[in-house]
Amino acid sequence: MIKKASTLIVEFWIKNAIIKTDDKESYCYGMELILSTLINVAFMVILSYYVIGYPIAFIPYIAVYTPLRLTAGGYHARSHLKCILYTQITFIVFVMSALALAKKNIWCLIVLYMVAVLTVLRLAPVEAENKPLTGEEKHKQQLNTWGFQTIILIVIVIAAIFGVLKNKIVLCVMAANISVAISLILAKIID
């Protein structure tokens, strides 16, 4: 469906001389990524509002999840539908779990978060099947992951110092980090 919609859009652009026919494949691929991302974000907005009950839950989650996945790598589904389902399921499960754990036992969540941080630092970067990394690229991705993880950890520590560790934004950040760790583990197991 996404691939077909992407092709239709690009063919419209070619027909109207917006792009050249020679560039069709590249534009189709780019449009697939854009549409898939928009669908994922749209579902996260809906789930944040109607299921989680915290309308902006998707914002801190995406703000951490996306750059961390870009630097650390992780599991890649074989189709857009599987990608969307995987992304939405992990989003809803980990955000709702973080919110619930914060109410019951914040220390359990802190331990899970720290294990996730260590897992990401240990496993990253995980290469995608279609995009192998050179030694230099791996090193750069690892440094980027470490840097980003350090920034997130500093934010979490500051939240703890100021007594706002149970703030929903902070919990969504922790959930995103745990989601990335699970993604890395799945990539290592499945791929």
Averages of pLDDT over each 10 residues, the chain, 191 residues:
89 86 89 93 97 96 96 90 94 96 93 96 88 88 95 94 92 96 92 64
- Which pLDDT value is given to residue 115? 97
Question: pTM of the entire structure?
Answer: 0.90
- Which pLDDT value is given to residue 21? 86
- Which pLDDT value is given to residue 191? 64
- Which pLDDT value is given to residue 11? 87
- Which pLDDT value is given to residue 183? 95
- Which pLDDT value is given to residue 14? 86
CB-count burial class (<10 Å; 0-12, 13-18, 19+) for 98:
buried
